[in-house]
Structure 1
């Protein structure tokens, strides 16, 4: 599959007309038809329903259109940023973060950095810790903020803060009546862990908190995101553990309670390439360190 296949399909999917799509692409209609057919053959599915008029996307075609549009949009962003950098017009920093970072002080810190350095393009990407390690090694981001130190060649991880974990409970849960809750009590409930993939992840950290204290979880349910986990708690499916800052996400169908066991926490890690000596990155990292209480230390 080549990039032109995505561009040809995007044009056809947006017009649902081979003639208009070919005109938009400045090519003849027969080559466009052949390219779409090649794409379908490579994928092994039909993307376009040609039996109706006007043309229609199949379910697979609608999904592929949504995904390919995102890919093409991201490619265009990369092209434009690369051209700006090559022309010396702008400086660029890529920042990766896990979703739970949105509820702490990091967003305000990054916004302050952007306000103080308007000449630097800051690109934010929501990525798991594993995805951040891959993006750092590939040069797609310059710094990542996650909770799992991925052992990958050429990466450094700095501990910014140990953030306490708290329990998320349905409002009608018996456990919600107490001012705090123990891991032993939570382990008897169905514990909702996230993200389910890729691993290792925050889910493994949470499971380990129970295991090392001799109270392994009886039943688990894994999902892919923080918001989904909290939604499942609200529906009475189970309980979950989240970083303390997440309680800023107010909902009237869940309640947050501190953990009575000592030391139940999750690290906030700042990950960079060991070889990166960018002055802009150094400034950003120092700004982040200053925004958290205490000094960062290597892990």
Structure 2
């Protein structure tokens, strides 16, 4: 199957008329009809219902069209980005991140890299597991997450361990205290992200399990901001990394925990054994300064 087959199919699916589709594609109708039949043979299913009244997409055809459009859009975006890079003589550098690391030092890394004349920077919000997959596929060059994942093709570096804090609705009985896990376990818990797993949700559950504490998970949210919104709505409480307290949101109070050893790592992932590019060396140099600022308590 070639990209042109997908493009032919999408035009026919839009027109639902072979004559009109052939005109748009600047080709005659018989070869277009043969290309569509060849595509259906390769897919192993009929994509169109053919009748005297014309063409209509089958349910399989509707599914195929949806995904074909996504593929073609991705190809077009990639081609345009490649052409833009060629014109600007810049190197493409991709960074993946989980949302909870974007409230501290990471935006400064992004800002500094964007100011470099030799870098075309792309950002992707990805779970740690998705970052590993994206690194191996070459879609990103550096990832920032919180899970340790053993993969022979990826190396991980713990930049620092960040204290966990509790996000409580304002007026909560634990507001203004430094609660223990035992105290927190008495209240409904909100977890994030709900999927994909494993994720920070599993890390938080593991903290309670290691102390043989049972918790009531009242809600799971896919997004950090959704979890905080649920806390503000008094649905429950949640545990978040310290830097999230920079999110000033009405109805939420943040408190430190009694046990300072309860932390979440900030982990940088890179492809293993790959000689660092000039851009990677610049990113590492910026990151080294930012991490030192974090560890020493200095924030620019």
TM range (shorter): 0.7 to 0.9
Shift of 1:143: 0.8
Q: Evaluate the alpha carbon distance shift between residue 249 and residue 20 of structure 1 in structure 2; reply closer, same or farther with a 3 A threshold.
A: farther
Residue equivalent to 1:93: 93
Q: Evaluate the alpha carbon distance shift between residue 219 and residue 34 of structure 1 in structure 2; reply closer, same or farther with a 3 A threshold.
A: same
SS in structure 1 at match of 2:226: helix
Q: Deviations over 1:278-298 (max 9, x none)?
A: 2221221221121122699xx
1:255 to 253, 256, 259: 253
TM-score by length of 2: 0.77
SS in structure 1 at match of 2:143: strand
Shift of 1:216: 3.8
- Indicate the larger mover: 255-264 or 14-23: 14-23
SS in structure 2 at match of 1:229: helix
Q: Deviations over 1:198-245 (max 9, x none)?
A: 332111111122222342424353332212222222333322111122
**1:1-299 equivalence runs, <5 A:** 3-4=3-4, 7=7, 23-27=23-27, 31=32, 35=36, 65=66, 70-82=70-82, 89-115=89-115, 117-172=116-171, 174-219=172-217, 221-277=219-275, 278-293=277-292
Aligned 8 A contact 2:113 2:119 in 1: no
Q: Deviations over 1:157-193 (max 9, x none)?
A: 1111211122122335x33533333322222222222
Aligned 8 A contact 2:152 2:272 in 1: no
Q: Evaluate the alpha carbon distance shift between residue 260 and residue 28 of structure 1 in structure 2; reply closer, same or farther with a 3 A threshold.
A: farther
Q: Which structure has the larger Rg over C-alpha atoms? A: 2
Distance 1:282 1:268 in 2: 20
Q: Deviations over 1:29-59 (max 9, x none)?
A: 78479849x77x96989999x9xxxx99x9x
Residue equivalent to 2:298: none
Runs of 5+ unmatched residues, structure 2 = 296-300
Runs of 5+ unmatched residues, structure 1 = none
Q: Evaluate the alpha carbon distance shift between residue 107 and residue 16 of structure 1 in structure 2; reply closer, same or farther with a 3 A threshold.
A: farther
Aligned 8 A contact 1:165 1:258 in 2: yes
- Indicate the larger mover: 213-222 or 244-253: 213-222
Distance 2:72 2:207 in 1: 41
TM-score by length of 1: 0.77
SS in structure 2 at match of 1:228: helix
Distance 1:135 1:11 in 2: 31
Aligned-residue CA RMSD (Å): 4.0
SS in structure 2 at match of 1:78: helix
